[in-house]
Amino acid sequence: MSVIVVTGTGTGVGKTIVTSAIAAIAQSDGRRVAVIKAAQAGLHEDGTGDLDTVRRLAGAVTTRELARYLDPLAPETAARRSGLPTVGPADIAAAASQLDETHDLVIIEGAGGLLVRFDGNGSTIADAAWAMGVPMLMVAQASLGTLNATALTAEVLLKRGIESLGVVIGSWPAEPDLAARCNLEDLPVAAGAPLLGAIPEGAGQLNPAQFLESARAGLSPWFGGDFDPEQFAMTYKSG
């Protein structure tokens, strides 16, 4: 497998940090890595986008942004408001196919949640994954309410015949509450797939060396990390 799609169970769940963590480990291990941002809708306060974060944290990886819209909205809505072209599954697949020829790993990061509209036809990042026949990784919150959003996302993947690699918690709080601690056991059930990591809260503010260390600790050996879901859950066992 050389292409994966990273989707969130909603917006602001940590997709970019998880994408950066996967890319950082792979790049450190000597793999040629490319990251595609299917559509950048809205910018950070300093005027940068998600791929700027990836480059800052993961180092010398290839990046490609297929569309940029200033409004922080669903890509189709942002494109319509700005008068700019939309991005569809064919565009995403073409970019991934091209980069796959010269890279060992291509990571495609979606926008918002799984069924956010990318164009006037109602196309989504799920359609792109299905068209390419590549697996998806879910990124979820740790907090109360995450189980429903995760289960809904997982159900769509199952019904559409898209392979789900598992779920990663995009921002594990320094002081997790009862819901977060219980969700360590409940999230894999809701996802119907394994818990493949938990990235510490604030990891995106670390320098590259510290971030790589955090990424290895927070991601499963499946990605080249050291994360053990059972041991992690035992650490925070609620009793």
For 127-159, how does the pLDDT look when each residue is reduced to its tens digit (9 = 90+)? Answer: 999 999 999 999 999 999 999 999 999 999 999
Per cent of the chain over pLDDT 90 is 94
Q: Residue 43's pLDDT band (boundaries 50, 70, 90)?
A: confident
Q: Hey, which residues are catalytic here?
A: 37
Q: Is 190 annotated as a binding residue?
A: no
Instruction: Please say whether the beta carbons of 20 and 204 come within 8 A.
Output: yes
Q: Residue 153 has which token pair?
A: 């996302």
Residue 237 has pLDDT above 80, yes or no: no
Q: Is 16 annotated as a binding residue?
A: yes
Q: Is 11 annotated as a binding residue?
A: no
Q: How far apart are CA 223 and CA 188, in angstroms?
A: 17
Q: How far apart are CA 52 and CA 236, in angstroms?
A: 33
Bin 237: left if φ > 0, else alpha if -120 < ψ < 50, else beta. beta
Q: What angle, 0 to 180 degrees and rounded to 10, lies between the N-to-C axes of helices 208-218 and 15-28?
A: 100
What pLDDT is stored for residue 46 in this prediction? 84
Give the chain's mean pLDDT: 95
What pLDDT is stored for residue 89 in this prediction? 95
Q: Is 111 annotated as a binding residue?
A: yes
Mean pLDDT, range 43-55, rounded to an integer: 90
Q: Residue 32 has which token pair?
A: 């040629």
Half-sphere exposure of 195 (CA within 13 A, CB side): 26
Query: What's the predicted TM-score (pTM) here?
Result: 0.95
Q: Which residues pair with 6 in a beta bridge?
A: 109, 137
